[in-house]
A = this chain, B = another copy of it.
Amino acid sequence: MGHRPRKEMIAETRAKLVAAARHAFGTVGYAEASMDDFTASAGLTRGALYHHFGDKKGLLQAVIAEIDAEMVGRLKVVSARADSLWQGFVDECTAYIEMALEPEIQRIVLRDGPAVLGDPSQWPSQNECIRSMSENLQKLRDEGTILAVDPEAAARLISGASLHAAQWIANSDDPEATSKKAVKAFNVLLEGLLKHAGRPQNSNQPALIGSTQD
């Protein structure tokens, strides 16, 4: 069993800590997660944690950065495979809601994160999501598809709405039905951005979102 290069061992230790913390934070929550416990579950001690991440908050930052990077990647895939910019944007929003339904994301990124690390708009990572959305909105504006709203402002409003929609859905008695209601209302709001207001008088039929329709 030849020893792996040093760099790799260290990276593995960091990864193990992040993984263990991610699991603990995602299940019992940040406050209830004992550093002794989850470092032990990774075969390490708090010593390693403090050495690599400074403190518990530092580890939370690392965990969030990891999750957020995954989220950005997934969002880029979604928007890239759409036919139009607008459709890509709408799909991205829907995907954002769907991701926010995942317990790990909801708990760590959307609840504990802001409480422990402060407002997410200040995080370098979270801004990636917003920036990605802002860029799309900017393009849509240049293209003349949407009204002349500030892209970042719209992006933040939309991400806030998505986030709350997701929490509402996740905690509802009937997530399926709730999800449909939320997505429909969400589309109505998004269409408010469109320059030509070509929308139906009666919105009881499915809205123009694509990816979640069955």
CB < 8 Å: which of B158, B182, B184 contacts A161? B158
Residues A70-120 near B (CB distance < 8 A): 111-112, 114-116, 119-120
Stretch of A12-20, A44-52, A185-193 lying at the B interface: A185-193
Known: A156-B165, A192-B188, A192-B192. Is A203-B149 also a contact (CB below 8 A)?
Answer: yes
* A195 interface residue (CB < 8 Å to B): yes
* A209 interface residue (CB < 8 Å to B): no
How many interface residues does A have (CB within 8 Å)?
53
The distance in angstroms between the C-alpha atoms of A195 and B115, with both chains bound, is 39
The distance in angstroms between the C-alpha atoms of A31 and B147, with both chains bound, is 43
The distance in angstroms between the C-alpha atoms of A182 and B150, with both chains bound, is 8
**Contact B115 A171, beta carbon cutoff 8 Å:** no
How many copies are assembled? 2
**Contact A171 B112, beta carbon cutoff 8 Å:** no
Min CB distance A107 to B, Å, is 9
**Contact A119 B171, beta carbon cutoff 8 Å:** yes
**Contact B170 A165, beta carbon cutoff 8 Å:** no
* A122 interface residue (CB < 8 Å to B): yes
The distance in angstroms between the C-alpha atoms of A131 and B96, with both chains bound, is 25
**Contact A203 B165, beta carbon cutoff 8 Å:** no
* A121 interface residue (CB < 8 Å to B): yes
Min CB distance A151 to B, Å, is 9
Summarize A's interface: helix, strand, loop or mixed: helix
Min CB distance A199 to B, Å, is 7
Min CB distance A131 to B, Å, is 13
Q: Which residues of B contact A184 (CB under 8 A)?
A: 149-150, 153
Q: Kindly list the 9 A-B residue pairs having the minimum CB-CB distance in the complex, ordered from nearest.
A: A192-B192, A160-B164, A115-B115, A197-B197, A153-B185, A157-B161, A150-B181, A161-B161, A153-B181
Q: Which positions in A face B, CB cutoff 8 Å?
A: 29-31, 111-112, 114-116, 119-122, 147-150, 152-154, 156-165, 167-168, 170-172, 178, 181-182, 184-186, 188-193, 195, 197, 199, 201-204
